[in-house]
Chains A and B, each alone.
Chain A
Amino acid sequence: MDNDRRIGLVGLAAAALLAWNFSAPAPTPSKPNAPNAPTPKPPPRPEPKPKPKPWGLSLSAPVGAKVGGATNEDGTELQCDLPGALHQKNKGGRDGAGLCVFTSIAHAAHWQNVPLLEDFRDWMTKHPGGGYPEKVTKMIEQIAKEKGQPVPDYLQVQNNDLEILKAACASGRMPGVTYSSSPTGRYRGRIAHMVSLVHADDRWFVILDNNYPGADKYEWMSPEEFIKTYSGGRTGWAVILLNPPPPPPPRN
């Protein structure tokens, strides 16, 4: 009996030990230190899967996006083929902040014959940079008032509706669209940018990037790649001038 009691006591002690072990609180999460100090990595979730990194400019990214001219290898021609001589490079506003939004609108103005906004980028260099929907409304009204012209007709869209972008391009209009990453690897990491959408159908979305202007520098991508860069993980924003496109070349 004494033996049984001893065994029982040992078993109880072991059980108590095990129970105490499992009830210990989880380790507290690591805290990132202040900048300039050695900092531990946070525990990743999950372990990042290895992916090929497109170091530098890649003309044929693994996902199929590519940089090229106005006609694709499969014969697709751009719906909004703005001549290269009219492409504009992004500049900074009075405070140095970028004018990609207003440069994209200027591209559409050239394509759709809206003289008031053809020099929107240059006019904005005298104003603080950076763009968002309310500012676009305000600055279009301001430039129209300054130049004594009527405000042109335009739409702004804030969501991930690709059908309205396809309808706009199919009708010959050139939306300015948000762009947060390059499927061909032009940029490393996430960016805050607006570019011109020069083609949109069920197979191809093509952008003219005002950081990379040129008739041979269009970025062709799939709809899946486009929605990722357009939405940036949240929602996209598009500005669409409603003036009609140029007439087709005459033929008998």
Chain B
Amino acid sequence: MYPLLLSLMLASTPSEYQWRRWPDYAEQVALVNSKGTQVGIWMTEEMKYYPRLASGKWGASCSPPISPPTEANYGVDREKLEGKPGYWRHGKQCSRQEAFEAIESSVPDDRGKLRLTVIGPKDQQTRVLQDLKSHPALSFFRDKVVVQAYAPDHWAVKGVGFVTSGSPTIYLQQPDGKVLHRQDRYDGAEELASALRKAHPDYQPDKDPPKQPNILPGGVDLSRIPTPVWALGGLSLLLLLSRRSQ
């Protein structure tokens, strides 16, 4: 009994089915097997399939053995979509959690993630982007900002309020658009890092790195010499030079 059923099942592979329409009856499409026997019906309005049972009655709605019939195809190959549910990143299967993390890892956080936008010609963009990616002075911001770069005539920045005439223009914004910092030229990673640090909502001046002291041989720390002493020394030098010239 069971081998017979199994052979019957194997005899009717999905590739042997096809849809047959009736010219004057668009609401339903029949599914027939290779012997021309009707084995099911697709209801086009409900978008549901009902199998035809051996008794002649109709079974409960279920998935048809082949893709449902389509009126028109605008470019999706439905046959090649069947039977492979899941998530893929770069063509490799991943889990649902990994898929969500891929989307959420760059979502701007109202408290944390700011928007850094670089506007200028390609070569100027590249210089800034490269430093953002690899310069140690800017490492603090790498996971704290969402970075985008645009040409000055790009629709996303032109005519919507951004200054686009800089070389380049660099904006730091909150997610709601409030501008925290703008500069119209790029003088290097350290200068940018200093400006961004001061504009960042979590900026704490006492956490600025200390300036390196200028120590002369013999242990004299030039930074400790008061300014009036420097002024007096300079004046003395001027008088000496003028006397010598006389």
Contacts and interface: CB of A to CB of B under 8 A. Distances in A.
Interface residues of B, number: 79
A164 to B, nearest CB: 6
A63 B46 CA distance: 14
Contact of A51 (B45, B91, B160, B162): B45
A246 B116 CA distance: 11
Contact of B84 (A26, A158, A211): A158
Interface stretch (B51-59, B134-142, B210-218, B226-234): B51-59
Interface in A164-212: 164, 167-168, 170-171, 173, 178, 180-181, 187-194, 211
A86 B90 CA distance: 26
Contacts of A164: 87, 96, 99-100, 103
Given A155-B103, A247-B115, A29 B38 contact: yes
Nearest to A92: B75
Given A39-B22, A155-B88, A158-B81, A29 B56 contact: yes
Contact of A101 (B76, B82, B173, B178): B76
B50 interface: yes
Contact of A157 (B20, B73, B99, B155): B99
Chain A interface size band reads 35 or more
Contacts of B238: none
Give the secondary structure class of B's interface: mixed
**Residue from A35, A153, A189 with most neighbouring chain B CB atoms (10 Å):** A189
A28 B52 CA distance: 12
A157 to B, nearest CB: 5
B176 interface: yes
Interface string A99-111: 1111100000000
Nearest to A141: B91
Contact of A242 (B49, B52, B103, B162): B103
Contacts of B80: 132-135
Given A134-B80, A158-B85, A251-B178, A26 B69 contact: no
B55 A101 contact: no
Contact of A191 (B37, B73, B103): B73
A228 B47 CA distance: 8
Nearest to A83: B155
Contacts of B104: 167, 171
Contacts of B102: 153, 155, 242
B48 interface: yes
Contacts of B56: 26-29, 43
Nearest to A228: B47
B81 A132 contact: yes
Given A132-B80, A132-B81, A167-B100, A32 B156 contact: no
Contact of B155 (A86, A161, A167, A170): A86
Contacts of B78: 192, 232
Nearest to B68: A233
A45 interface: yes
A113 B75 contact: no
Contacts of A101: 75-76
Interface in B22-69: 22-23, 25-28, 30, 32, 36-38, 41, 43-45, 47-50, 52, 55-58, 63, 67-69
B45 A240 contact: no
A233 B78 CA distance: 12
**Residue from B26, B58, B78, B179 with most neighbouring chain A CB atoms (10 Å):** B78
Given A48-B45, A194-B75, 20 more contacts: A26-B56, A27-B56, A28-B56, A30-B38, A45-B57, A51-B45, A97-B75, A100-B76, A101-B76, A130-B75, A133-B81, A157-B87, A158-B86, A164-B103, A189-B72, A193-B76, A194-B76, A233-B68, A244-B106, A248-B175
16 contacts: A26-B55, A45-B57, A48-B45, A153-B102, A157-B87, A158-B85, A178-B81, A181-B47, A187-B72, A192-B70, A192-B72, A233-B48, A234-B63, A248-B175, A250-B161, A250-B173
